[in-house]
Amino acid sequence: MPELPEVETTRQGLLPHVVGARIAKVVLRERRLRWPIPASLARTLVGLRVENITRRGKYLLWECRDPHRAGGFLLCHLGMSGTLQVCPQPSVIGKHDHVDIQLESATTIRFNDPRRFGAMLWIAGSEARHSLLDSLGPEPLAADFDGDHLFHVARGRSVSVKEFIMNGHVVVGVGNIYASESLFRAGIHPARAAGRVSRARYVRLAQSIRETLLHALREGGSSLRDYVQTDGASGYFQLAAAVYDREGLPCRVCAAPVRALRQGQRSTYFCARCQR
């Protein structure tokens, strides 16, 4: 399930293959994703040159241009089971291979997404502005994200701190796995109301989120279940998970059994002794 480290790993894996390349052909086999892929996307993309791929939260933005006509941005979201793989010699078309973006070099970038929660949309123009991006919170690894930000946004909020940090309008890129891991690292109970966490503890939480994400980034992204890196190798962050998916197993710090609970129809893992 791609979270921010996986999306960033994907971005970095794609960059050397696509930046500067011209799009030769686009095959749309299945357009029914989170939102339908525009039928005109293939026509739009062919002939454009990919100038860069940037990331905003878990959205990837392919900046595409052409000297003779208007460019724009290909907005991609991997949902929870999506991958973008670099296929130097695409051979057999597999199940759920929904989109192929073939470059002039013959290398193909293949979008596969069994659960079809992903997205592929087109933003025309020279600015990457879209309603999906408009009200996103800060990047957790950027300078404008810190404990003060979390503390201020949390004023008066009764939602649990775990659901709070998973809200993309508060901070982007913290998914279910890293939310549990970050709260464990910060020693904060996941069910505590967001408005009842002190400023000092939010400072620690912001730092924990950064550390957790950076750690996962160094490991190449997690591979829990579906994730595959662009070169096909799998990540291995789950081996280092402190609490996620470890219900009943001893806490790595105090040996108390890790506990699980449901929050907003999501599973949360925590240590009742280490987290208050």
Partner DNA sequence: CGAGAGTCCTGAAGGC
Partner DNA sequence: TGCCTTCAGGACTCTC
- Residue ranges that bind DNA, judged by CB under 7 A: 1, 3, 32, 34, 57-58, 77, 79-81, 95-96, 114-117, 131-132, 156-160, 163, 166, 168-169, 175-177, 194, 245, 262, 264-267
Annotated active-site residue in 11, 49, 58, 110: 58
* Beta carbon nearer to DNA, 132 or 253: 132
58 among known catalytic residues: yes
Consecutive H or E run containing 254: none
* Beta carbon nearer to DNA, 57 or 147: 57
What is the token pair recorded at 130? 């879209």
- Which alpha helices (H) appear in the chain, and where do they start and end? 4-18, 41-45, 131-134, 147-154, 161-166, 176-186, 199-218
The answer to whether residues 227 and 1 touch, using CB atoms and an 8 Å cutoff, is yes
Alpha-carbon span 105 to 203, nearest angstrom: 48
266 among known catalytic residues: yes
* Beta carbon nearer to DNA, 47 or 195: 195
The answer to whether residues 62 and 84 touch, using CB atoms and an 8 Å cutoff, is no
* Beta carbon nearer to DNA, 48 or 205: 205
Alpha-carbon span 24 to 100, nearest angstrom: 11
Q: Which one, of 234, 34, 169, 241, lies nearest residue 249 by Cα?
A: 241
2 among known catalytic residues: yes
Q: From the CB of 155, what's the least distance to DNA, in Å? A: 9
Annotated active-site residue in 56, 115, 157, 266: 266
Consecutive H or E run containing 58: none
Name the residue type at position 19. Answer: V
Q: From the CB of 116, what's the least distance to DNA, in Å? A: 4
Alpha-carbon span 181 to 246, nearest angstrom: 11
Dihedral sign computed on CA atoms, order 18, 44, 34, 114: negative
25 among known catalytic residues: no
* Helices 176-186 and 199-218, packing angle to 10 deg: 130
List the 97-103 sheet strands across, edge first: 23-28, 97-103, 108-112, 83-87
* Beta carbon nearer to DNA, 43 or 129: 129
Q: From the CB of 254, what's the least distance to DNA, in Å? A: 23
Q: From the CB of 147, what's the least distance to DNA, in Å? A: 18
* Beta carbon nearer to DNA, 40 or 131: 131
User: What is the set of active-site residues?
Assistant: 2-3, 58, 266
